[in-house]
Amino acid sequence: MPTVQRLKLFLPLLLFVGLALFLYRGLSLDPKALPSALVDQPLPDFSLPALSDGRSLTRSDVTGEVSLFNVWATWCISCRVEHPYLQQLADLGVPIFGVNYKDENEAARQWLTDLGNPYRANIVDAAGSLGLDLGVYGAPETYFVDARGIIRYRHIGVIDERVWSSRLQPIYEELRAEAMP
Amino acid sequence: MTRLTLLLLFSLWSLDGAAVIETYEFSTPDLERRYQALSAELRCPKCQNQNIADSNAPISQDLRRLLHEQLEAGASDEEILEFMVARYGEFVRYRPEFSRATAILWLAPAVLLLLAVGVIVLLMRGRRKVAEAALTAEDEATLEKLLAQEPDRT
Task: Calculate mean pLDDT across residues A16-32.
Answer: 87
State pLDDT tens for residues B82-137: 999 999 888 899 988 888 888 988 999 999 999 999 999 999 988 877 666 667 78
**Cα–Cα distance between B95 and B138 in angstroms, integer?**
62
Query: Would you call B45 and A135 a contact, using CB atoms and an 8 Å cutoff?
Result: yes
- Per residue in A41-55, pLDDT tens? 999 999 999 999 999
Rounded Cα gap, residues A70 and A95, in angstroms: 10
pTM for this prediction: 0.74
Is the link from the previous residue into A140 a cis peptide, with omega within 30 of 0? yes
This complex has an ipTM of 0.76
Q: Nearest-CA distance from A36 to chain B in Å?
A: 7
Binary contact (A133, B58; C-beta < 8 A) = no
A57 touching B (Cβ < 8 Å): no
Task: Tell me if chain A has a CB within 8 Å of the CB of B83.
Answer: no
Q: How far is A93 from chain B (nearest CA, A)?
A: 30
Q: Between residues B148 and A94, which one has the greater pLDDT?
A: A94
Measuring CA to CA, which residue among A41, A29, A30 is closest to residue A143? A41
Q: Which residues contact B37 (CB under 8 A, 6 or more apart)?
A: B77
What per-residue confidence (pLDDT) applies to B21?
A: 61
- Give SS3 for A149: coil
- Alpha-carbon distance values, A164 to A155, A168, A170, A175, A180 (Å): 10, 5, 8, 14, 22
As a residue count, chain A comes to: 181
Q: Is A103 left (phi over 0), alpha (psi -120 to 50) or beta?
A: beta
Check CB contact of A157 with chain B, cutoff 8 Å: no
Q: Does residue B15 register a pLDDT over 60? A: no
pLDDT reported for residue B19? 45
pLDDT tops 60 at residue A19: yes
Q: What pLDDT score was predicted for residue A26?
A: 85
pLDDT value of position A105: 94
